[in-house]
Amino acid sequence: MKKVIFTDLDGTLLDRFSYSYDQALEAINLLHEKKIPIVFCSNKTRVEQEAYREELNIRDPFIVENGGAIFIPQDYFPFPFNHHKTTKDYLVIELGISSQKVREVLKRIEKEVGCHIKGFGDTNVEEIAQETGLNLRFAALAKQRQYDETFKIEATPEKIELALDKIEKAGLTYTYGGRYYNAMGGGDKGKATKILIELYRRKLGKIETIGIGDNQNDIPMLEVVDIPVLVQKPDHSWEEIGLPNVYKVKGIGPEGWSRAIQKLIES
């Protein structure tokens, strides 16, 4: 049975602090040898993910900005399917509204609540680099958001709770990835993953899907794969996600990622 890997990036395939994937290289090479697709499913932008895809020689579809859109390389699937736009390199399935519309909602809520919502759209590259540990190149790529907004709320706990409640009442969803909130409208990792699973089934027949993540914003993806996997967080704990069949692998970030791949692919 053909396998397909769906994976988060930050804190999973990539070290949460250094953004290194070195500990996962052996497992990535194993997947390449066995011609097993590696689908990024991350909060990262298209241009961020393209940089890692190039470095790791990955040519499979990828899901950006927590499910805002799916980018599928031209001619990857040998049949027509519904998509929203075509670029030079990709057929694009868009699930989320534009980041500009998301920012407009956040600005309105900021005024209503009387808090300070500071998004990547309001932050310069140097600040993003300093706060995230990204280098300047990747901080600039992280700013190029198309389908969501990454932000912090500076306010009392009560006002933060009120702002988050208003975000949901405005029809947006939000996730919290450990450093920042992300708000979007229309898509999530689960919806995007399900669409790709169906396309892979049409291409490959019977498949087994493996999803690897580390925190709450990966739950929608983990809920729809056959084998959900959690790697350890920096404190060596696993996120509590309430899935009965989750495989909790020992190892923080890419160390756990590599261990999971070796076990699940070679078993």
Which run of H or E residues covers position 80? none
The DSSP symbol for 49 reads H
Among candidates 138, 117, 116, 139, which has minimal Cα distance to 128? 139
CA distance 28 to 36: 9
- Cβ proximity of 111 and 170 under 8 Å: no
Instruction: Return the sign of the alpha-carbon dihedral for residues 50, 53, 55, 58.
Output: negative
Q: Does the annotation count 8 as an active-site position?
A: yes
Cα R_g (the chain), whole angstroms: 18
State the residue for tokens 């805002």: 68
Q: Which of 8, 15, 148, 218 is catalytic?
A: 8
- Cβ proximity of 196 and 39 under 8 Å: yes
Token pair for 244: 């009965």
Residue 182 makes CB contacts below 8 A (sequence gap 6+) with: 43, 65, 66, 148, 149, 150, 151, 174, 175, 176, 217
**On the CB side of 122, how many CA atoms lie within 13 Å of its CA?**
13
Residue 36 makes CB contacts below 8 A (sequence gap 6+) with: 2, 3, 4, 5, 265
The residues annotated with a catalytic role in the active site are: 8
